Amino acid sequence: MPDKGPIYLETVHYHQSGATGWPVEPWNTLSSLLFIVIVGYWVIKLWGQFRHFRFMGYALVVLCIGGLGGFLYHSFRSDVIYLFMDWFPIVILTISVAFWFTGRLIGHWGWALLLSLISYVVFFGGFAGIHEWLGLPRRSISLGYVIAGLYIATPLLLYLKKTAFCHGRWVLGAIGFFLPAVFFRSVDMEGWLPMGTHFLWHVLGAVATHCLLYYTFLTQSDVRRSL
């Protein structure tokens, strides 16, 4: 592919059919818009309150860029910049969420930033080393998302314990939707569905994202009330 990105079952069908129109990956394209829908929901919900929810405002901007990138990437499969817009915001959000919950956990933002960066290197450096050593296939990209989930879950679950599992159902929901999302991403090329299963990674991942945003909203609301 011109964008040097992964090949999905929809990509294969597109080229086998000799199609030249838009979009290249219809189901993947449409499902990626769910992240934009989520951003719209939270912008409406937080309108006029962003000064109290600055982290969420920042996260929504990054999520919107990622959603737009995913839409352009799966629509055209023509430019590496679209691929970059699809995955790099995920990296930024992953580090940011881990940093935010670490800060809430230890109460010191400087140390939280340092710990988040060090743990990122440990988690993903270790994954990259194992990936190279074992010669894992490209499908193991999905394993990278599991590592990202563990990276976020570590400070998140510790913070959840610190707050006596308050609003824990939203964390459970995020985990409960994220795990099958990664599974469906990894089996896209198995042909279980005619269009593949990558779009379910988007659908379930979007729901997991919404759950995590709702938990963040509730915890920030609790902090505001305690001041």
N- to C-terminal Cα separation, the chain: 53
Whose tokens are 């006596």? That residue is 164
Which residue is listed with tokens 């709702």?
Answer: 214
CA dihedral in degrees (196, 197, 201, 206; nearest 10)?
90
Q: Are 180 and 145 in contact (CB under 8 A)?
A: no
Cβ–Cβ under 8 Å, residues 181 and 219: no
What's the DSSP call for residue 108? -
- Convert 19-44 to b/e letters by CB count within 10 Å (16 or more is b): eeeebbbbbbbbbbbbbbebbeebee
Q: In whole angstroms, what is the distance from residue 99 CA to residue 104 CA?
A: 9
CA angle 115, 129, 159 (to 5 degrees): 30
Nearest CA-CA partner of 32 in 75, 92, 3, 93: 75
Q: Cα 15 vs. chain centroid, distance in angstroms?
A: 28
Give 167: exposed, middle or buried? Use CB within 10 Å, 0-12, 13-18, 19+. Answer: middle
Domain ranges of the chain: 9-222
CB 210 within 8 A of CB 60: no
In this structure, whether the domain defined by 9-222 belongs to CATH 1.20.1070 is answered with: yes
Against a cut of 0.85, is the pTM above it? Answer: yes
Low-confidence ranges of the chain (pLDDT < 70): 130-140, 226-227
Q: Which letter does DSSP use for residue 201 in this model?
A: H
